[in-house]
A and B are shown apart, each in its own frame.
Chain A
Amino acid sequence: MRSLLWAVLALAAASAQPVAGHHSISAVFEADKLVSVTGTLTKVDWINPHIVIFVDVKTGSAVANWKVAGAPPAWWRNVGVNRADFAESLAQQVTVEVNPAQDGSPYGYLRKIRFANGESLEATSTQ
């Protein structure tokens, strides 16, 4: 009976584990803050542990090159999104909603991207 109880407890513990590939968002980014950034998509790096895209944002004559990390490639693959879904918008305007980096640098964690053709991809929590 005790082993059954242990098995149930262990199963509950194992099932409760979040399985992400990384540090928590809150270790680097401001998890409770969303910033919207619009600019030109210049690069799409389909790499682990997180995809990274780059967006040139013009403010007057100044250009800030934003680095935006997203979910792991395997995550995108399993929700049916490939690198090409991003890359076809290279050199075009995109708007990204990100959790900004805590250090204030032009770096964020991707929550949503809207492409020039109006299509958008949004990573949502379902639990």
Chain B
Amino acid sequence: MKQIACAVIVSTLLASAAAVAQQARPTTGDRPDLSGTWAIFPGVNASSALRREAAGTEETRRLDRTGIRGAVGQGRGALPWTAAPSYKPEFQAKVQDLDARQSKTDPVFYCGKPGVPRVGPPRRIIQLPNEVVFFYEDMSGDPYRIIPTDGRPHRASANPSSYGDAVGRWDGNTLVIDVRNFVDDTWFGEKGYFHTDAMRVTERLWRDGDNLVWQATVDDPNVLTAPWTMAPRMVRRSTQALEESPPCRETDGPLLRNDDHHDQR
């Protein structure tokens, strides 16, 4: 009798422990798990390397281009995409002008927030049953986004922002995020892609093997002739922990002698 009682107690304890473990480890149900740290380093020049000489030895470290903004154009299951958005005829000259003078006109150039979708895929994702949390490293600061996936509607009273108001849902194995309620002072691409506060962005994230793929569609009926789906970016896993971005202080503006520039992100 005593043995039976012990067995019951032990099995009860084991069941309780299993239940606690289950609660402690968030499940994602039958959804693919997007959680992880991903290799994205915006603002880094890929076409360069560091040569280090010390004590008669020489070492060269090259950057992996795919670690910069991801492998652009790769990712199985991507939507059809085009290289550039189609602006209404009356806005094409403005876009070209902003692009040509981006070292003077791009808010990101002067440490401004890139916003969605320009911030790109997240550096870290924590996926929970009813929400996903995105973390980014960005020289304008290190934004985060908490995106509900429990079917709730957009917030009615949120202020417009650079990263907008997002709600997510699962479409098969793809996380689809609808983002709206933007301010109008970000660009959605480095080539002068301005927008209005009517912009809506749809981000899609899914797994391709052990990689993460991110693709965004931008719609702004005020300035675009049609929604623009940009190239997907496939990013690999990273073992490099997130680090607080150093403060951003751009002081070269007054020294610019011409409009020469690189793209940023």
Contact = CB atoms under 8 A, between A and B. Distances in A.
Interface stretch (B4-12, B29-37, B253-261): B253-261
Interface stretch (A15-23, A33-41, A55-63, A89-97): A15-23
Nearest to A24: B260
Interface in A76-109: 76-81, 101-103, 107
Contacts of B42: 19, 21, 74
A34 to B, nearest CB: 15
A10 B252 contact: no
Contacts of A7: 73, 80-81
B63 A18 contact: no
A23 B62 contact: no
Nearest to A126: B49
Nearest to B51: A122
Nearest to B69: A19
B120 to A, nearest CB: 11
B44 A74 contact: yes
Contact of A75 (B45, B249, B252): B45
Nearest to A4: B80
Contacts of B55: 118-119
B262 interface: yes
B235 to A, nearest CB: 14
A116 interface: no
Contacts of B49: 79, 123-126
A49 B263 contact: no
Given A75-B63, A79-B63, A80-B61, A121 B50 contact: yes
B173 interface: no
A21 B139 contact: yes
B139 A15 contact: no
A37 B231 CA distance: 44
A104 to B, nearest CB: 11
Contacts of A124: 48-51, 60
B47 A14 contact: no
Contacts of B62: 126
A24 to B, nearest CB: 4
A12 to B, nearest CB: 9
B246 A47 contact: yes
Residue among A11, A17, A74, A77 facing the most chain B CB atoms (10 A cut-off)? A74
Nearest to A19: B68
B25 interface: no
Contacts of A123: 48-50
Residue among A3, A17, A21, A46 facing the most chain B CB atoms (10 A cut-off)? A21
A48 B139 contact: yes
B161 to A, nearest CB: 21
Nearest to A11: B73
Nearest to A107: B255
Contacts of A75: 43-45, 48, 63
B78 to A, nearest CB: 9
Given A49-B43, A71-B45, A23 B67 contact: no
22 contacts: A6-B83, A10-B83, A14-B231, A15-B73, A18-B46, A18-B47, A20-B44, A22-B103, A23-B260, A24-B261, A27-B252, A28-B256, A47-B248, A48-B247, A72-B43, A73-B245, A74-B139, A78-B67, A80-B61, A119-B54, A121-B50, A121-B51
Given A14-B231, A48-B246, A121-B50, 5 more contacts: A19-B262, A47-B246, A75-B43, A78-B67, A124-B48
